[in-house]
Structure 1
């Protein structure tokens, strides 16, 4: 009647007690955590490879099954920001710079990834950002995203910290493995 019954509804495991699922997940997490800790402290390559491979396997499973969520997240992150700090950052690009003597058609514009998509259009308008920065900033809000991508990343990161931490753990284990192997190879002579 509580959280565990909700877990049964989500997983669809009606013949299995939800407590068993929670225990299995706990055992796997403990095993990986313990192996990673001991592998790092004892500089045990075998344990570090075990942790690295299992984290990578879990990451692959995470990508395979909720692929639509990942693609939506990437699409939304790319299309809800413009420039690092804002649309004015495109002045550093010679093609979009307003002050340059460039005869580029993109002068004083932004890339189409900065444009707010029109749901009525079936084809992406790749020229929607042309000359947008010649207009006043008050007119930008309904045509392009004015939030910088650094701010979008700062908002995205806390919501996806577990994914980032998992990727960091994989790279940390792989780096430690290569460092240990390099030290062992240099001491072999």
Structure 2
């Protein structure tokens, strides 16, 4: 449904005839011609099949997906200070999941500003971003320097100052804890997509019955006309 509306909106704004034809070809209104109803039904079926396939593949290749997520986070850690949007995304992720790095705070050693090498002259050396810091509810102002020198402390002391769990394990834990909710969302989306498809099939059947009745009425009218002509 989103793709259909998006195609129509962008097509109208950009005066793109291809997108407008695409949107019209998937028109699912009751007044739409049978070919449009058929296209819309097929389109929803394809989307549903792709979602189902993605869900199965995600379960089968969950270890591969975890590895890809690990590489993705680490690559973004390297570019943390180079892109403000990427920086905000990482900060939001670490604050939301209460995590630090992909599998732990030491992953920040990949960043040139936070690594612990002797050649690093940055004040953030051996530290972590402020989004890794544990939050004090009494503090109204965010301390952006709370992660300085955090990784130089013993692990026991680190747990008091920063989150020591990685974002990949935290995401897996969240997914397991909310598996019922996530499954319910996917089932709900599938039902929402299936409902228009069922409606399309019902509408197509109704249109066929209506056309059949009109055809029979037309045949009867023609027969009456011929009979009247013969009688005259």
Please report the TM-score for the alignment, with normalisation by the length of structure 2: 0.40
Structure of greater relative contact order (alpha carbons < 8 Å, 6+ residues apart): 1
More helix by share: 2
In our comparison, the structure showing a higher alpha carbon Rg is 2
